[in-house]
Structure 1
Amino acid sequence: MEEKKKGGFRRRGFLKTAALLSLFSSIPSSVRAFFMDRLYVRTVEKDTFRFDPMTGDIRWTGRKSREPYVLTVGGLVALPLRLSYANLTAFTRSSRPGWWTLANPVYPVIALSPPGT
């Protein structure tokens, strides 16, 4: 009797995944959009606000209110910070080559608020 290998992606798993993907792609886009809109979004893809880099303000759509952009550094840090857009643009600009893009290091912010112990 042949010994079964543990782990890995087998033919059966591949076929199940392929079937689910083909089923998902065959769903009409309106039905797919209904379900996708209910998923939690962790990126800024919705047009609920606009950022004005000239003033550093956030303008909310549907309201006439504005508020200043603030980066809050908190949690497990030694010194919690609130940095305005003017504070952030005052840092020296630098970039380092990343994997396939240029990475913008956050070392100035880390230097101001080091991790706590």
Structure 2
Amino acid sequence: MRRGSRAPAALAADVLCVVVFCAIGRRSHAEGLTVAGVAQTAWPFLAGTALGWVLARAWRRPVALLPTGVAVWVATVVVGMVLRKVSGQGTATSFIVVATLTTAALLLGWRAIARSLL
């Protein structure tokens, strides 16, 4: 498989990781698991993921931990938290810590697994 052809699957994996993170968070806080509810929680983080992809030019090396994975992860958390704050959603310190660690495990974890298999 050519490197460029991995980009759509890698982007889909990143989106899936963010949506799973948001769905788990909503479930653990007894919030509804509706499509609209998950979308409301996920959009700030997905915006960050998109920016991370652009900044890292992730389509060039979509499975790379550095710089792609780290850039996507950091942008996901930072932009996600900023957008949550300006849109009136919660940004408690404990949430920032959990979001940072969980998205690291998800966004970097799938890349580590994929790299070991390639």
TM above 0.5: no
**1 or 2 for the larger relative contact order (CA 8 Å, sep ≥6)?**
2
Whose strand proportion is higher, 1 or 2?
1
Larger radius of gyration: 1
TM-score when normalising by structure 2: 0.23
